[in-house]
Amino acid sequence: MEISKVGVLGAGLMGHGIAQVAAQAGYDVVLREVDQARLDKGIGRIEKQLGRAVEKGRMEQSDADAVRGRINGTLDYADYADCDLVIEAITENLQQKLDMWRELDGIVNDGAVLATNTSSLSVIDQAAATRRPGRFVGLHFFNPAQVMPLLEVVQTVTTDEESLKTGFEFGERLGKTCVHAKDKTGFIVNRLLVPYMLDAIRAYEEGVGSIDQIDAAMKAGANHPMGPFTLLDFVGLDTTKSIADIMFDEYRERRFAAPPTLRKMVAAGFYGQKSGRGFYDYSGDKPVAVDPGL
């Protein structure tokens, strides 16, 4: 199916990155937020990244201007009427997503494919809330979406072949490595990555090593770009806990259970990089590991 206009819902951490990579691939993009301040913040992040790309010689100024010109910010669902593909990247809350789809489904043209960037909810729960469960896929991007090469293309029990193919064609045009995943909570990556991050916390709780030693070990011993605690702070401790809780609810397996340290840190508001403190303190020149003392 030919896509020319892509709608992205949510200009937060994932949404702004998805909008940017779609515009870089030549699509016209409409990007919505719930208020002007959030929309300006998301568009500002895109402009900053484009500016950096020009500074570093990775992009010509004229190309950056063209990418920016293809992204239209809006507060209005009516601007999604002529989209061919709509990807939601709003808060990871099923009820909010269902409310949004119920409103949008009647506005977007019937031929369009709808997609969710959910990292942990079952895609079918959203698909079934629309009038087009056949034309609904999961498109799971990784943070930062501008850099991470993977796209999980998720097929539900209702997804039709044409919509699945559209998901793959879109991802390939973005230059992503596309993998096919079934609609099992966590898909491929989080099913493996979340227990690994939770196990790093358990290793710390059991006294195997300190936070910075465990991080150093996994970087140098497994060639990971970030150790598990740096990654936890990067993903967000609140986000990780919410994904773990959803996976635990679904599978009832200990490997998905949030360890007490994680639960307490989230309760204390230590969310990682975004709040200035997680397993590291980000207030100084460089991050310093802090003993959660819990």
Asked if 146 is part of the footprint of ligand CAA (rule: CB under 6 A), the reply reads: yes
CB atoms within 10 A of CB 124: 17
Look up 190 and say whether it is catalytic.
yes
Asked if 122 is part of the footprint of ligand CAA (rule: CB under 6 A), the reply reads: no
Query: Of 3 and 49, which CB lies nearer to ligand CAA in the complex structure?
Result: 49
Asked if 225 is part of the footprint of ligand CAA (rule: CB under 6 A), the reply reads: yes
Q: Is the peptide bond before 144 cis (omega within 30 degrees of 0)?
A: yes
Look up 119 and say whether it is catalytic.
yes
Quote the tokens at residue 44: 């500002």
Quote the tokens at residue 207: 């006294």
> How many residues at the interface with ligand CAA, by CB under 6 A?
16
Asked if 148 is part of the footprint of ligand CAA (rule: CB under 6 A), the reply reads: yes
Q: 88, 152, 163, 242: which one is catalytic?
A: 152
Q: How far is the CB of 230 from ligand CAA (least distance, A)?
A: 8
Asked if 57 is part of the footprint of ligand CAA (rule: CB under 6 A), the reply reads: no
Asked if 118 is part of the footprint of ligand CAA (rule: CB under 6 A), the reply reads: no
Which residue of 29, 83, 231, 265 would you call a contact of ligand CAA, by CB under 6 A?
A: 231
Asked if 226 is part of the footprint of ligand CAA (rule: CB under 6 A), the reply reads: yes
Q: How far is the CB of 235 from ligand CAA (least distance, A)?
A: 5
Q: How far is the CB of 53 from ligand CAA (least distance, A)?
A: 7
Query: Of 284 and 293, which CB lies nearer to ligand CAA in the complex structure?
Result: 284
Asked if 48 is part of the footprint of ligand CAA (rule: CB under 6 A), the reply reads: no
Quote the tokens at residue 110: 């019937």
CB 113 within 8 A of CB 101: no
Asked if 155 is part of the footprint of ligand CAA (rule: CB under 6 A), the reply reads: no
Asked if 91 is part of the footprint of ligand CAA (rule: CB under 6 A), the reply reads: no
Quote the tokens at residue 282: 């980000």
- In DSSP terms, 152 is beta-bridged to 140, 179
Quote the tokens at residue 55: 């500074």
Which residue of 235, 237, 246, 247 would you call a contact of ligand CAA, by CB under 6 A?
A: 235
Q: Which stretch binds ligand CAA (CB under 6 A): 36-44, 91-99, 142-150, 269-277?
A: 142-150
Q: How far is the CB of 181 from ligand CAA (least distance, A)?
A: 12
Helix (H, G, I), strand (E, B) or coil at 6: strand
Q: How far is the CB of 79 from ligand CAA (least distance, A)?
A: 25
CB 27 within 8 A of CB 175: no
Between CA 203 and CA 264 the distance in angstroms is 17
Between CA 224 and CA 85 the distance in angstroms is 34
Q: How many residues does the chain have?
A: 294
- What crossing angle do the helices spanning 237-251 and 260-267 adopt, rounded to 10°? 130
CB burial readout 12-32, b (16+ within 10 A) else e: ebbbbbbbbbbbbbebbbbbb
Asked if 49 is part of the footprint of ligand CAA (rule: CB under 6 A), the reply reads: yes
- Per-position DSSP letters for 136-167, written without gaps between them: EEEEEE-SSTTT--EEEEEE-SS--HHHHHHH
Asked if 179 is part of the footprint of ligand CAA (rule: CB under 6 A), the reply reads: no
Residues making contact with ligand CAA (CB under 6 A): 49, 52, 56, 58, 119, 142-144, 146-148, 190, 225-226, 231, 235
Q: Which residues are catalytic?
A: 119, 140, 152, 190
